[in-house]
């Protein structure tokens, strides 16, 4: 097997990932596992913290984002054991019982931590909280959750009428609402449902298209009174329930598996099996998009683990064709669009991705950053206001690119580098640790450099 050379150069806070593709190419082989699902990890820590009794979490993602959630909820009074993948114990303190911390709560880079936590804090009557995040998070829109919370009676202050962190929250007794969200966002939906847990009455969220439903599934498992109306994409939670600690088993993250699905599909001669991946239908848009492009992906050993569907995913190289995606599939693959753009670069024809303006307010402006960075490698990518147009089939030539401190950009560029001639240096590769701390090790493994 021919191998790419993957070199990591680290200083205290920064990492360069240097990928040197041999002139005769590279093929990827192996059976691998990806870390735990980020969305499910956050929710297990949060629900564990506000439930009564103990929650045990197996397979937690040890990335920086769930670490931010754990440190915030420890500061709010929940007892959370040292984080590990075997079994994390969360001793919850019951709904409405979080303590007022003596310092600012810092969500780091994590939008999920900040937005979901806001819903929980806003309903803690009589307590005062301040929340912030890193420079990326402090520039991301919070009005999408602050406005509906204010409609429920929350008191929240921040820059630009409460739309940017740092935010200050004076907890209140909230009232239930029916919120018709203008965007399909699981963070918005989850924030309001969490606030609704101790609001007076029944809180309903309706979204324009279905976003990931991990909150609904887990709230139900913890004992909340939840009902779902699939016809209208609505979820209702009752304000009277109590939550009880559970055993949660976190499946592998399909958003992390997506890097290997695309790598296996585009690097000639490759075959990879990614074990134990969550295939919740609200997350499998990437499988559908790659199937539309002609990728050879099969689901093996399909099963349900702790309420979430799981499978092993086998991918083999095949020549991909372009596709057009937009509409309801977008929320089901929103985090995979950067790596889907890499797939499109190696596909025949012009791929158009639209209705994805949300990408502009993720950890970076992923539309602008992916277009700029892929074009540096020689790709033909045009920015659209709400997506990307990518003409595939150009040969990529290794050069210096930058993650722009965005984890999914760092990893997407590393996969693009495997099919770029010569040497590619990805600056800011340390960002991958937000959701995938072992990404480089697995990259070296599939390139045949380690066992
Ligand atoms: C997430 C929801 C998504 C996603 C994010 C995680 C979640 O955001 O991009 O990485 O865990 O709820 P939106 O639902 O706001 O698009």
The Å distance, Cα 211 to ligand 1 centre, comes to: 8
- Please choose from 140, 335, 340 the residue to mutate so as to test ligand 1's pocket, defined by most ligand atoms within 8 A of CB: 335
The Å distance, Cα 204 to ligand 1 centre, comes to: 19
The Å distance, Cα 151 to ligand 1 centre, comes to: 22
Task: Report the nearest-CA residue for atom 10 of ligand 1.
Answer: 335
Shared-domain flag, residues 114 and 256: no
Give the pair of three-digit tokens for residue 443: 């990259």
- Please choose from 186, 332, 335 the residue to mutate so as to test ligand 1's pocket, defined by most ligand atoms within 8 A of CB: 186
Structural domain contains residue 348: yes
Mean pLDDT of the chain: 96
- For 26-43, what is the mean pLDDT? 96
Shared-domain flag, residues 393 and 431: yes
Structural domain contains residue 451: no
pLDDT in tens, 178-237: 999 999 999 999 999 999 999 999 999 999 999 999 999 999 999 999 999 999 999 999
Last residue of a domain, one of 230, 249, 268: 249
Phi then psi for 65, rounded to 5 degrees?
-65, -55
- Given a cut of 70, is residue 1 above it in pLDDT? no
- Token look-up 């200083």 returns 11
Burial 177-202 (b: 16+ CB within 10 A, else e): bebebebbbbbbbbbbbbbbbbbeeb
103 is catalytic: no
Shared-domain flag, residues 154 and 295: no
- Percent pLDDT > 90 in the chain is 94
State the DSSP H helix or E strand holding residue 6, giving kind and residue range, or none if neither: strand 5-10
Nearest to 249 by CA among 189, 314, 309: 309
In the three-class reduction of DSSP (H, G, I as helix; E, B as strand; rest coil), residue 214 is classed as helix
Shared-domain flag, residues 145 and 191: yes
Shared-domain flag, residues 146 and 173: yes
Shared-domain flag, residues 255 and 180: no
pLDDT score, position 3: 62
pLDDT in tens, 230-279: 999 999 999 978 999 999 999 999 999 999 999 999 999 999 999 999 99
Nearest to 253 by CA among 280, 271, 285, 219: 280
Shared-domain flag, residues 371 and 318: yes
Q: Which atom of ligand 1 is nearest to the CA of 42?
A: 11
Last residue of a domain, one of 249, 269, 295: 249
Structural domain contains residue 69: yes
Shared-domain flag, residues 211 and 257: no
Asked whether the beta carbons of 392 and 346 are under 8 A apart, the reply is yes
Lay out the sheet containing 226-229: strands in order across.
Answer: 178-180, 202-206, 234-238, 226-229
Asked whether the beta carbons of 98 and 131 are under 8 A apart, the reply is no
The Å distance, Cα 115 to ligand 1 centre, comes to: 10
Shared-domain flag, residues 146 and 258: no
Structural domain contains residue 178: yes
pLDDT score, position 6: 84
Range of the domain at 296: 5-36+251-446
Q: Which atom of ligand 1 is nearest to the CA of 331?
A: 16
Last residue of a domain, one of 249, 276, 309: 249
- Given a cut of 80, is residue 24 above it in pLDDT? no
Structural domain contains residue 84: yes
Shared-domain flag, residues 235 and 309: no
The Å distance, Cα 186 to ligand 1 centre, comes to: 5
Shared-domain flag, residues 223 and 292: no
CATH number at residue 181: 3.65.10.10
What's the total number of domains in the chain?
2
Shared-domain flag, residues 171 and 294: no
pTM: 0.97
Structural domain contains residue 397: yes
- For 291-295, what is the mean pLDDT? 98
Ligand 1 binding pocket (C-beta < 6 A) is 39, 112, 185-187, 190, 211-212, 334-335, 358
């Amino acid at each position: 097997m021919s191998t790419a050379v993957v070199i990591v150069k680290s200083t205290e806070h920064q990492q360069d990932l240097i990928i040197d593709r041999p002139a005769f190419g590279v093929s990827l082989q192996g059976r691998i596992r990806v870390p735990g699902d980020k969305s499910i990890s956050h929710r297990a820590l949060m629900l564990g913290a506000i439930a009564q009794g103990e929650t045990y979490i197996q397979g937690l993602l040890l990335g920086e984002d769930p670490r931010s959630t754990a440190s915030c909820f420890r500061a709010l009074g929940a007892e959370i054991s040292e984080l590990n993948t075997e079994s994390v114990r969360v001793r919850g303190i019951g709904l409405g019982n979080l303590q007022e911390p003596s310092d600012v709560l810092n969500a780091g880079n994590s939008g999920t931590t900040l937005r979901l936590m806001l819903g929980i804090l806003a309903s803690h009557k009589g307590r005062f909280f301040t929340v912030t995040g890193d420079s990326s998070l402090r520039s991301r829109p919070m009005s999408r959750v602050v406005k509906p919370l204010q409609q429920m009676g929350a008191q929240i202050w921040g820059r630009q009428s409460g739309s940017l962190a740092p935010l200050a929250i004076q907890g209140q007794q909230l009232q239930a609402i029916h919120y018709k969200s203008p965007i399909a966002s699981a963070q918005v939906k989850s924030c309001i449902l969490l606030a609704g847990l101790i609001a007076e009455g029944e809180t309903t969220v309706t979204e324009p298209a279905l976003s990931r439903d991990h909150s609904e599934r887990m709230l139900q498992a913890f004992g909340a009174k939840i009902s779902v109306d699939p016809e209208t994409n609505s979820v209702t939670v009752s304000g009277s329930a109590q939550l009880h600690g559970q055993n949660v088993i976190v499946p592998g993250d399909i958003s992390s598996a997506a890097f290997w699905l695309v790598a296996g599909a585009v690097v000639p001669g490759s075959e990879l099996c990614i074990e134990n991946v969550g295939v919740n239908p609200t997350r499998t848009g990437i499988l559908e998009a790659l199937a539309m492009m002609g990728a050879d992906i099969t689901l093996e050993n399909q099963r349900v683990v702790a309420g979430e569907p799981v499978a092993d995913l086998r991918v083999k190289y095949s020549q991909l064709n372009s596709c057009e995606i937009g509409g309801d599939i977008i929320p089901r693959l929103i985090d995979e669009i950067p790596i889907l753009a890499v797939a499109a670069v190696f596909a025949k024809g012009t791929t158009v991705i639209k209705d994805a303006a949300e990408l502009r307010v993720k950890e970076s402006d992923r539309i602008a950053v992916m277009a700029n960075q892929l074009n540096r490698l020689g790709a033909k990518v045009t920015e659209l206001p709400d997506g990307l147009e990518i003409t595939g089939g150009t040969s990529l030539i290794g050069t210096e690119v930058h993650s722009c401190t965005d984890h999914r950009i760092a990893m997407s560029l590393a996969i693009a580098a495997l099919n770029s001639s010569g040497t590619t240096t990805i600056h800011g590769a340390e960002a991958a640790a937000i959701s995938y701390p072992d990404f480089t090790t697995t990259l070296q493994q599939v390139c045949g450099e380690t066992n």
